[in-house]
């Protein structure tokens, strides 16, 4: 359908858009917070008037029971552990292509934008891995799971699910053995080009910060993308965003999930796309002389540092055809490798009109949140605030080692 007058004025570049970001109000909202905001906004649109909406929204929310929170925590731990098993299995598989064991530089080139303690700890875990094991990446995963975690939250909040309970769930692992077996079984069916470091740069858990500038407000979205694949022959083949979904999560996207996918595409457009032609692939003279081969990486050191990406809504609309040609998006089940490709048509961003509608919707959500921020901010509280998932230890030197559960080896 043609643009409305509101859309025309929304994306018309004028002096207001040329003002510095500091002069324009903005919000910082994560994809999970936007999910809650969409539900609240739908409730607002269905309300008779603003007064009835406000009277409804200020009512205290029903707090989940401990059983519900515990169930959510178990699923969070399951997801975290199965995602990392997938990442680690891929690293070992990619190192195998070069006929060697994984090393610290592989960790650096796979998990970009991390701090030095992260790489130090992961290198220590690599040194503890049993390379005589029939499944080396599973051994590494067990080292990471049992020896690499810090269960003590720094904020000492009075969590409903205590850290000791989280530790017990984590170390006994909610990941069934048959899911682990299935994951490795189906890994062999993955695209060989993806697992070949001479053909594809593959990075996992990519943290991005994206500013979207609208004429009268800004929206900053911090997010973590499960996987980004950049093929050697880009732009003949697109950059591929993978969002891993387990079990019942793998389904056709809802309206909310479409907006979250769009935000990831915008993040890759602003943070990654301009780096894609500056990647070192293959072997150089030094690697040939020393018989050692590295995973592909961004050639310039400055490109390996996370920078906040920014885009004007109008510019994104203008380039939507190029973006759709250069960026692909899929849901993938890490256990079965089943996938759902979220095409531009499915996401509703195939044409300038469609992407304009989608950005108008994000803009209206941002304005809605700005208007009611004092009331809505507490509503954005995460369910994860009821418990604390472990973080990677900064040093294993003084760690008390835990024995493996025999049935998980």
Do residues 238 and 368 both lie within one domain?
yes
For residue 1, is it within any domain? no
Do residues 286 and 305 both lie within one domain?
yes
How many domains does the chain contain in total?
2
For residue 15, is it within any domain? no
Do residues 332 and 204 both lie within one domain?
yes
Do residues 104 and 150 both lie within one domain?
yes
Please tell me the predicted confidence (pLDDT) of residue 336. Answer: 93
SS3 229: strand
Do residues 329 and 302 both lie within one domain?
yes
Do residues 106 and 245 both lie within one domain?
no
For residue 8, is it within any domain? no
Do residues 230 and 205 touch, judged by C-beta distance below 8 A? Answer: no
Please tell me the predicted confidence (pLDDT) of residue 198. Answer: 92
For residue 339, is it within any domain? yes
Do residues 159 and 305 both lie within one domain?
no
Please tell me the predicted confidence (pLDDT) of residue 251. Answer: 92
For residue 16, is it within any domain? no
Do residues 133 and 204 both lie within one domain?
no
Please tell me the predicted confidence (pLDDT) of residue 286. Answer: 61
Please tell me the predicted confidence (pLDDT) of residue 18. Answer: 43
For residue 404, is it within any domain? no
Do residues 134 and 266 both lie within one domain?
no
Please tell me the predicted confidence (pLDDT) of residue 400. Answer: 54
Query: Residue 308: which residues within 8 A CB-CB, separation 6 or more?
Result: 209, 210, 211, 220
According to DSSP, the β-strands at 327-332 and 309-312 are unpaired
Do residues 181 and 98 both lie within one domain?
yes
According to DSSP, the β-strands at 391-392 and 149-150 are antiparallel
Q: pLDDT below 50 — which residues of the chain?
A: 1-22, 403-409
3-state SS string over 105-139? Answer: HHHHHHCCCCCHHHHHHHHHHHHHCCCCCCCHHHH
Do residues 99 and 246 both lie within one domain?
no
Residue 320 domain boundaries: 24-59+197-381
Tens digits of per-residue pLDDT, 94-131?
Answer: 999 999 999 999 999 999 889 999 999 999 999 999 99
Do residues 235 and 372 both lie within one domain?
yes
Please tell me the predicted confidence (pLDDT) of residue 1. Answer: 32
For residue 80, is it within any domain? yes
Q: Specify the pTM.
A: 0.89
Vertex 139: Cα angle to 138 and 145 (nearest 5): 85
For residue 78, is it within any domain? yes
Residue 7: phi and psi, rounded to 5, are -70, -40
């Amino acid at each position: 359908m043609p643009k409305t007058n509101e859309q025309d004025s929304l994306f018309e570049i004028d002096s207001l858009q040329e003002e510095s970001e500091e002069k324009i109000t903005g919000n910082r909202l994560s994809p999970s917070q936007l999910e809650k905001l969409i539900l609240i906004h739908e409730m607002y649109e269905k309300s008779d008037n603003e007064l009835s909406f406000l009277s409804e929204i200020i009512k205290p929310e029903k707090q989940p029971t401990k059983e519900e929170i515990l169930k959510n925590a178990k699923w969070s731990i399951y997801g975290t552990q199965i995602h990392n098993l997938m990442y680690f299995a891929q690293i070992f598989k990619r190192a195998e292509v070069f006929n060697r064991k994984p090393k610290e530089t592989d960790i650096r080139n796979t998990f970009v934008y991390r701090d030095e303690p992260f790489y130090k700890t992961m290198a220590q875990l690599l040194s503890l891995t049993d390379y005589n094991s029939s499944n080396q990446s599973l051994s590494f995963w067990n080292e990471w799971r049992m020896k690499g975690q810090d269960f003590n939250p720094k904020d000492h909040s009075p969590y409903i699910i205590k850290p000791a309970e989280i530790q017990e769930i984590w170390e006994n692992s909610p990941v069934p053995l048959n899911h682990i077996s299935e994951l490795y079984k189906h890994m062999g069916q993955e695209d060989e080009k993806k697992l070949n470091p001479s053909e594809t740069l593959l990075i996992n858990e990519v943290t991005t910060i994206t500013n979207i500038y609208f004429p009268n407000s800004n929206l900053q979205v911090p997010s973590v993308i499960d996987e980004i694949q950049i093929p050697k022959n880009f732009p003949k083949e697109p950059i591929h965003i993978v969002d891993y979904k387990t079990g019942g999560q793998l389904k056709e996207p809802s309206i909310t999930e479409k907006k979250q996918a769009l935000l990831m595409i915008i993040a890759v457009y602003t943070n990654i796309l301009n780096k894609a032609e500056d990647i070192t692939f293959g072997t150089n003279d030094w690697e040939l002389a020393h018989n050692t081969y590295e995973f592909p990486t961004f050639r310039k050191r400055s490109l390996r540092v996370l920078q906040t990406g920014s885009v004007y809504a109008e510019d994104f609309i203008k380039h939507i055809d190029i973006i759709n040609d250069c960026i692909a998006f899929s849901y993938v089940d890490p256990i079965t490798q089943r996938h759902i490709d979220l095409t531009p048509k499915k996401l509703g961003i195939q044409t300038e009109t469609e992407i304009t509608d989608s950005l108008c919707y994000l803009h209206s959500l941002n304005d809605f949140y700005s208007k009611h921020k004092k009331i809505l901010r507490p509503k954005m509280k995460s369910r994860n605030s009821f418990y604390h998932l472990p973080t990677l230890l900064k040093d294993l030197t003084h760690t008390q080692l835990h024995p493996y559960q025999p049935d998980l080896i």
